[in-house]
Amino acid sequence: MPVKLGVSCGGDLWSREDILATEEFGFDSFWTGEHIVYHRPIMEAVTLLSYVAGLTTRIKMGPATLLLPLRHPTMIAKQLSCLDVLSEGRLLLTVGVGGDYPREFEGCDVPIKERGRRTTEALEIMRKYWSGERFDYDGKIFQLKDVDMLPRPVQPNGPPIWVSGRQEGPMRRAATLGDGWHPYMYTADRCRDSFFKVKEFAEEAGRTLPRDYTFAVFVYVSLHDDIDEARRRGVAEMSYRYEQDFTELVEKYCAYGPPERIVDYLAPYVAAGVNYFILAPIMPADGRRPHLERIAGEVMPALEKLEPGRIL
């Protein structure tokens, strides 16, 4: 399938005009980051996406990535089902276990050691709710008796779910329960290795991944014609976002420089099998629109011409 591109606001509150620009310039989707208790201001994902759904008419939307173990599956299943209805079937979903910021697990009164099991059970429960049927569920974490949920999502079987992460556990979850696999902070080579692992884990579980299975990746993009300035902005923004120094890491996790250099950075990901980019543009708050327009006009067309490396 052709390469698609989405844009993430990273949990920042963008203006109405900036959100609408992502739709106007032809991006496939709008994404937001997710943390509940965190070191910097960050919007709650479902709330922000409801706002986006009301503003836009075409573009898809989703959290990248929803920290699923922090929420009870019944409540998040209801919220996401309603968001899919309100957006007329435009919701995408990436889910992960989190754990890189333990304070938010403490703040949500969720044992951090249970995050993997909670995520697996929540995925199973959400799928059951979205079927529209009554069901019981007897898990290690959650026990439900004679429950169902209406309205059902607009999309059959609910919004597509891409499992996000960096380790083998999420890969297995993506292989057995997901509609896609979405690593972040991965090089192109590591992406390719993980894509084949997901395929292998699916085969071990007796599942054949569908031809439209999504192999996504989240990548930061710092667009500026001056390479040194683009790098400086990338280091500053990523250091702020993750509360650690990215001076020695920026080359590994951020495409920076003029458009042609960014295309050269991202092209190996497509060769590795990536068919969906979630790009996190690093740009001044008062200059988002021209940045988005340049990415759409000078980066997106070049990537859309490329054929993703074959995984399935």
Instruction: For residue range 261-309, list pLDDT tens digits in order.
Output: 999 999 999 999 999 999 999 999 999 999 999 999 999 999 999 999 9
Position of tokens 């439209």? 212
H helical segments located in the chain: 16-24, 45-55, 73-86, 102-107, 115-130, 168-177, 188-204, 227-242, 250-253, 259-271, 288-294, 300-304
3-state class of 241 per DSSP? helix
Rounded CA separation 61/29 (Å): 5
Rounded CA separation 268/289 (Å): 27
Average pLDDT, the chain: 97
Rounded CA separation 255/264 (Å): 9
Rounded CA separation 236/246 (Å): 8
pLDDT of residue 188: 97
Residue 228 CB-density burial (10 A; 0-12 exposed, 13-18 middle, 19+ buried):
exposed
pLDDT of residue 1: 74
Position of tokens 């909670």? 118
pLDDT of residue 111: 97
Question: From first to last of its 312 residues, what are the pLDDT tens digits of the chain?
Answer: 789 999 999 999 999 999 999 999 999 999 999 999 999 999 999 999 999 999 999 999 999 999 999 999 999 999 999 999 999 999 999 999 999 999 999 999 999 999 999 999 999 999 999 999 999 999 999 999 999 999 999 999 999 999 999 999 999 999 999 999 999 999 999 999 999 999 999 999 999 999 999 999 999 999 999 999 999 999 999 999 999 999 999 999 999 999 999 999 999 999 999 999 999 999 999 999 999 999 999 999 999 999 999 999
Helix/strand number for the chain, H first, E second? 12, 12
Name the helix (H) or strand (E) containing 122. Answer: helix 115-130
Domains located in the chain, CATH noted: 4-304 (3.20.20.30)
pLDDT of residue 2: 85
Using the Cα atoms of residue 251, residue 256, residue 261 and residue 262 in order, give the sign of their dihedral.
positive
pTM above 0.75, yes or no: yes
Position of tokens 């074959």? 310
Note whether 39 and 243 are within 8 A (CB): yes
- pLDDT tens digits for range 161-191: 999 999 999 999 999 999 999 999 999 999 9
DSSP code of residue 12 = -
Tokens of 312: 């399935």
Query: Angle at the Cα of 168 (from 275 to 75), degrees rounded to 5?
Result: 80
Percentage with pLDDT > 70 across the chain:
100
3-state class of 275 per DSSP? coil
